[in-house]
Structure 1
Amino acid sequence: MRIDVHHHALPKDYVSVLRGKGIEAAGGRDLPAWDVAGTIAMMDAHRIDKAIVSVSAPGANFGDPAEAGRIAREVNEFLAELVKDRPDRFGFFATLTLPDVDTSLAEIAHAFDELSPHGVILLANSLGTYLGDPAFDPVMAELDYREAVVFVHPNELPGPEVPGIPPFAADFLLDTTRAAANLVMHDVPARYPAVRYILSHAGGFLPYASHRIGFIVAAMTGRDPAKVLDTMAGFYYDTALSASPAALPSLLAFAKPGRVLFGSDWPFAPEPFIGYFTSTLDAYPDVDDDTREAINHGNARVLFGTDA
């Protein structure tokens, strides 16, 4: 049975907020229908024992910190109730309010002291500011104190789209890659070592381009290229929309052992997509049974402990 670390919820009140702002799509993907019964049916069909749910892009902050705080609190209370009702099937990542630091710190305190999340979700860029920016250091310090897991999810790029190519097709992969490179550029993993990062969609382009990015970061910072690559290989990576014969070899060749986790990207990934990538992982000839079992659930149990 699988533990799904890349799994989204769309609470009705949150969807109403988005539509009230004229947002009918996330990353170019129309907001899908979502409910608990349909989610559990999908999980059962694909042998997903537990899902760590989160709210996807565009997140909670639309430019007003007070509004962002209200949205994040409502989302987190909703997801905590979902977990309370079905602790056997769900956990959750708490939503924060970056780029606003003060409301993010307040929500970390509330979530970790009152709601028991599995970690937090942070967008790769929040209103154009990328993870790794020194302005976010107070939040990273608090997450380090909490020994938090941070699920890094892409957002729309802070620039124009290419006409006809929806952001979720390619831009999302670049967004995650940018965030990972920026975290390493500013030495955030070394400065806040208790934080564990999960990079969405197999890290975007990071595994494939890791040595190129690593040597450039090392040259710009004066650090040892091997240490930069070791830091990037130490991120966790999920398989959402990425367990393919093209992506898996690069991911498994680069990531450290124990760092690859199962992800579905439900409900933004429709069920046929989930079926394709899941069946590919299950049948991929270059993954032995022990590695497949670790990806499906073993690595997540180690990362989250007995709560997974």
Structure 2
Amino acid sequence: MTDGQTTSVTPVTLSFSTDYRRIAVEEAWAPKQLLDLYRSELAAGNITDPGFRSLWGYYLGDTERASSLTERIVEAGPSRIAAMDAAGIDVQILSLTAPGVQVLAKDIAKPMAEDANDLLKQSVDAYPDRFSGLTAVAPQDPEHAAQEIRRGHDKLGFKGVIINSHTHGEYLDDKKFWPIFEAAESLDTPIYLHPTTPSAQMIQPYVEAGLDGAIFGFAADTGLHLLRIITSGVFDRFPNLKIVVGHLGEALPYWLWRIDFMHAIAVRTQRYSAIKPLELRPSDYLKRNIWYTSSGMPWAPALNFVRDVVGKDRVMFAWDYPYQYDAQEVADTDAIAWSPEEKKAFFEGTAERVFHL
């Protein structure tokens, strides 16, 4: 997700014909009912989270940019498919946009998550060759979230779980949330850990500088969240759990060596009660349990670095529609000097394997 400028999409000529589908795996959607609920909750003052007010206080406004975004995000039919066709994208995996239901009160969030999943199922069923979906949950009630993961997998046919980072400032490394991990691991269904704005505890220096969104704040919060999951021992308890992160890993691949080095010192010195010995190095979990998408980062130097660091089979394509989308991004990625086999894995094969498409 990005809070950047949306652009018009005009057809481009891709650099070569392909024998694979282009599957975009981080594509935002929201039912109109959720946006209406956001409006009413903001108007009533029921949601005070400063990040949410910064993000959706803007996108629910009456500017041309905001109106274009809200029009596109609720639509999962001909207009979205036309934008996909213009860029050469065959399939979108749709997921509930940030912050989903996670900013709402628990009693409102649970039925809204269920309703959103049922509505998304209708769109997927209407265009089964073009759309797939991820299950939205309300982590506010971890047991209910686990049940909804099972329903999404078994009854709705969804291919993973979407969690938009923190929930009221709480992160999934807290063991009360681990029923979510248990359900996902038992079904071999991946969790997409998607950004939202930093929590109320950390957002002030970001928002006062205009840096709370995609430019930096999203990655700061989501990278922190993922690292907390790793250092808390989640992957020792759930060794087969799969987590997918966008934006080429929210900067963590660039920190692998230093994370390992400083984590080892913290374990040895027992400086922090939260840092305990792990079975593996943090970087090993980032190479074993985590998959990475190119959402918002169609940039060859970064793509090549992350593929070299974590493994080519762990990086896949995403378009970040409708927040940041441009048909030219797909053509530019097609033009990177990878072999046809590598491009097939990046655009199609890894997503098929991870999401069981």
User: What TM-score, normalized to structure 2?
Assistant: 0.78
Aligned to 1:191: 237
- Conserved 8 A contact 1:218-1:224: no
Deviations 1:145-197 (A, max 9, x none): 22221111011101222333341211111122112211110121231123211
Given candidates 204, 207, 215, the residue that maps to 2:250 is 204
Query: Which consecutive residues of structure 2, in runs of 5 or more, have no partner in the other structure?
Result: 1-20, 43-52, 60-65, 269-276
Q: CA deviation at 1:199?
A: 0.5
Deviations 1:211-253 (A, max 9, x none): 2223223333464797321211231000011120342132112
The alignment partner of 1:125 has SS state of coil
User: Does 2:37 match 1:12?
Assistant: no
Deviations 1:78-97 (A, max 9, x none): 11111111111111001011
Partner letter of residue 286 of structure 2?
M
The alignment partner of 1:129 has SS state of coil
Given candidates 57, 71, 90, the residue that maps to 1:49 is 90
Aligned to 1:264: 319
User: What TM-score, normalized to structure 1?
Assistant: 0.90
Deviates more, 1:113-122 or 1:55-64: 55-64
- Conserved 8 A contact 2:197-2:212: no
Partner letter of residue 295 of structure 1?
F
Aligned partners of 1:63, 1:51: CA distance in 2, in Å? 27
Aligned to 2:287: 233
Aligned partners of 1:214, 1:194: CA distance in 2, in Å? 21
Aligned to 1:290: 341
User: Which one has a larger percent strand, Structure 1 or Structure 2?
Assistant: 1
Aligned to 1:128: 169
Aligned partners of 1:204, 1:27: CA distance in 2, in Å? 24
What is the aligned-residue RMSD (CA, Å)? 2.2
Aligned partners of 2:95, 2:320: CA distance in 1, in Å? 10
Q: CA deviation at 1:299?
A: 0.9
Q: CA deviation at 1:28?
A: 6.2
Partner letter of residue 223 of structure 2?
T
Partner letter of residue 266 of structure 2?
M
Partner letter of residue 158 of structure 2?
P
Given candidates 202, 205, 209, the residue that maps to 1:163 is 209
Relative to structure 1, is the Cα distance of residues 103 and 65 closer, same or farther in structure 2, using a 3 angstrom cutoff?
A: farther
Aligned partners of 1:28, 1:164: CA distance in 2, in Å? 13
- Conserved 8 A contact 1:94-1:111: yes
Aligned to 1:33: 71
Partner letter of residue 291 of structure 1?
E
The alignment partner of 1:54 has SS state of strand
Q: CA deviation at 1:52?
A: 0.8
- Conserved 8 A contact 2:247-2:296: yes
Deviates more, 1:108-117 or 1:220-229: 220-229
Aligned partners of 2:257, 2:314: CA distance in 1, in Å? 18
Q: CA deviation at 1:296?
A: 0.5
Deviations 1:55-95 (A, max 9, x none): 12111033421110111011100111111111111110010
Q: CA deviation at 1:261?
A: 1.0
Relative to structure 1, is the Cα distance of residues 171 and 246 closer, same or farther in structure 2, using a 3 angstrom cutoff?
A: farther
The alignment partner of 2:236 has SS state of helix
Aligned partners of 1:295, 1:221: CA distance in 2, in Å? 36
**Whose radius of gyration is greater, 1 or 2?**
2
Relative to structure 1, is the Cα distance of residues 215 and 298 closer, same or farther in structure 2, using a 3 angstrom cutoff?
A: same
Aligned partners of 2:228, 2:57: CA distance in 1, in Å? 21
Aligned to 1:105: 146
The alignment partner of 1:21 has SS state of helix
- Conserved 8 A contact 2:165-2:222: yes
- Conserved 8 A contact 1:156-1:167: yes
Aligned to 1:253: 308
The alignment partner of 1:193 has SS state of coil
Deviations 1:8-47 (A, max 9, x none): 1121111111122236844966453222221101111122
Task: Give % identity.
Answer: 25
The alignment partner of 1:57 has SS state of coil
Relative to structure 1, is the Cα distance of residues 119 and 91 closer, same or farther in structure 2, using a 3 angstrom cutoff?
A: same
Size of the alignment, in residue pairs?
Answer: 302
Aligned partners of 2:217, 2:236: CA distance in 1, in Å? 27
